[in-house]
Amino acid sequence: MIIISLGGIILQEHSNPIFPLVSGPPLPQRLHYGVGVPYLDTLLVVGGHDGRRATDRVYRYDRETHNVPTWVLLPQRLSTPAHYHAAFAVNIHEQPKWT
pTM: 0.70
pLDDT tens by residue, 47-93: 999 889 999 999 998 877 667 788 899 999 988 888 888 887 777 77
How much is the average pLDDT of 30-56? 88
**Average pLDDT along the chain:** 75
Q: pLDDT at position 22, please?
A: 53
Q: What is the pLDDT of residue 99?
A: 53
**Buried b or exposed e, range 1-31, using 16+ CB within 10 angstroms:** eebebeebeebeeeebebeeeeebbebeeeb
